[in-house]
Structure 1
Amino acid sequence: MTSDGRTDAETAYDRLAETYRTRETDPYCADLEFPATTELIPSVGGKRVLDAGCGHGRYAEWLLDGGADVVAVDASEEMVARARERVGDRAEVRRADLSRSLDFAADSFDGIVSGLALHYLEDWRTVFGEFARVLRPAGFLVVSVHHPLDDYLAFEPENYFETAEERMQWSADGEAVEVPFYRRPFAETLNPLLENGFALEEVVEPRPRPTFEEKKPESYEKRLRQPTFLCVRASLR
């Protein structure tokens, strides 16, 4: 937590916001995570959908193009500003901290999409509890996160079973930016969801598309054999 009350992750993403949209063309997003996640999202025409952790608004834009009524939230003020620029008045975009109670009434949404956002939160029971509260009965939830196995292999922790903070190093205009996130065991990715009344519908460990190989051939074979992301669709029971 910084002196102005923001988390380290918020500060990092404020710094990354200016150039973050360029990451959408990175093969890990464009040819691996994004297509796998969007394939899990049911038809959204006429539905009210929350984009939870919207970043630059990539999923918000995709949902809008599919006919959804979208509300997009992010903890980073700079990311919120970029998402507003992207979608204009087509969606409501506001700042919200997913680690706290959401400022929405119960049964406000038909669906929730959260793309590569939840691994920045330590406590998933609170956030899934809030998702359950604001979803209407039988509402859908689609989430993509780091795969626990990939985090474990990358950081080689002494204890696989603990949920603990790790740090990635990214770059913003040539400056190194440390981005904190939480790795967790596989059980802790699914049990908080089940404990809050969700029923699993599909779990995907996506493999890279052929276009990934064209852009990043040095990583393609590894990512065919080792999972990178975990994508889940669930519904509220």
Structure 2
Amino acid sequence: MTADDDPIAKAAYDELAETYATNVRTNAYNAELEFPATSSLIPDVDGKRILDAGCGTGVYTEWLVERGADVVGIDVSDEMLGHAIEQVGDGDCTEFRRADLEEPLEFATARSFDGIVSALALSYVEDWRQVFSEFARVLKPGGFLVFSTGHPIDEFPPENDEAENYFEVERLTKEWDVEVPYYRRPFSEMLNPLLENGFRLETIVEPQPTDAFAEQRPERYEKESRNPVFLCVRATMR
């Protein structure tokens, strides 16, 4: 694989890994907006085998292990995985692997996981039908999938000059310390691939900021209380 063939956000997250590992557990948007909503959708995981798909620096991996799960964390960024291993450890209850969600999960056998958590990772995957097909393959019947992603309304504001057609899956970039490429998509291209692959939709949450968010980011609290930023979903395998 050449550099040009690398997954779209790999280079960006390799570069951002150090900063991301420092900030993700305290950043108001992660810790006080997305995380409370997504984690509230995850059922009891004690004694369960869970795939943390797009584990980043291991925030959800650590949370799941603390609640009794055996967790396999995968990410496309070697640098992010390094921070996850440093934070959580690679031991009896955890295993980390480099894997690209755009590709088949060749390490995972069919019906080998009780649940999948994928927090803010699917925005870097163009084809959700393929990734949900793989999730369906590796989940046990009745297994759960919980994922979070950018809200379509937030990612298609009128002032976004890059976004051209709400109904298309479009590749855009966001400006952090580096340019980070990602894909935005309409609601239909989030939910239909899920349903087409045998999942039953259970719950959708459009999180609002917590009181702690207001303390950390008072200048953003009113706006984010009125406008959705993230979409959090729980589904089960039929």
The bucket for the TM-score relative to the shorter chain is over 0.9
CA distance in 2 between counterparts of 1:158 and 1:13 reads: 26
Equivalent position of 2:160 in the other structure? 155
Identity of aligned residues (%): 60
CA RMSD of aligned residues (A): 1.3
Equivalent position of 2:191 in the other structure? 190
Secondary structure at the aligned position of 2:46 is classed as: coil
Equivalent position of 1:174 in the other structure? none
Equivalent position of 1:114 in the other structure? 118
Secondary structure at the aligned position of 1:213 is classed as: helix
1:159, CA displacement in angstroms?
A: 1.2
Secondary structure at the aligned position of 1:125 is classed as: helix
Equivalent position of 1:199 in the other structure? 200
Equivalent position of 1:85 in the other structure? 86
User: Do 2:57 and 2:81's aligned partners in 1 also have CA atoms closer than 8 Å?
Assistant: yes
Instruction: Encode CA deviations 1:7-51: one digit per residue, 9 max, x unaligned.
Output: 331010000011112132111111100010000000000000000
1:126 equivalent to 2:127? Answer no
CA distance in 1 between counterparts of 2:59 and 2:19 reads: 14
Instruction: Encode CA deviations 1:161-215: one digit per residue, 9 max, x unaligned.
Output: 11100101111xxxxx110000001111111000000001100000001111111
1:13 equivalent to 2:13? Answer yes
1:2, CA displacement in angstroms?
A: 5.6
Q: Which amino acid aligns with 2:104?
A: S
- Between the two proteins, the alignment pairs up a number of residues equal to 232
Secondary structure at the aligned position of 1:7 is classed as: coil
CA distance in 2 between counterparts of 1:112 and 1:222 reads: 31
CA distance in 2 between counterparts of 1:211 and 1:224 reads: 13
Equivalent position of 1:3 in the other structure? 3
Equivalent position of 2:99 in the other structure? 96
1:61, CA displacement in angstroms?
A: 0.2
1:158, CA displacement in angstroms?
A: 2.9
Instruction: Encode CA deviations 1:46-87: one digit per residue, 9 max, x unaligned.
Output: 000000000000000000000001000000111111111111
User: Do 1:139 and 1:236's aligned partners in 2 also have CA atoms closer than 8 Å?
Assistant: yes
Instruction: Encode CA deviations 1:120-141: one digit per residue, 9 max, x unaligned.
Output: 1110000000000000000000
TM-score, length-scaled by structure 2: 0.95
Equivalent position of 2:48 in the other structure? 47
TM-score, length-scaled by structure 1: 0.95
Q: Which amino acid aligns with 1:28?
A: Y
The alpha-carbon distance between structure 1 residues 208 and 85, as it changes in their structure 2 partners (threshold 3 A), is same
Alignment gaps of 5+ in structure 1: 172-176
Alignment gaps of 5+ in structure 2: none
Q: Which amino acid aligns with 1:100?
A: E
1:4, CA displacement in angstroms?
A: 6.3
Secondary structure at the aligned position of 2:9 is classed as: helix
Equivalent position of 1:27 in the other structure? 28
User: Do 2:56 and 2:75's aligned partners in 1 also have CA atoms closer than 8 Å?
Assistant: yes
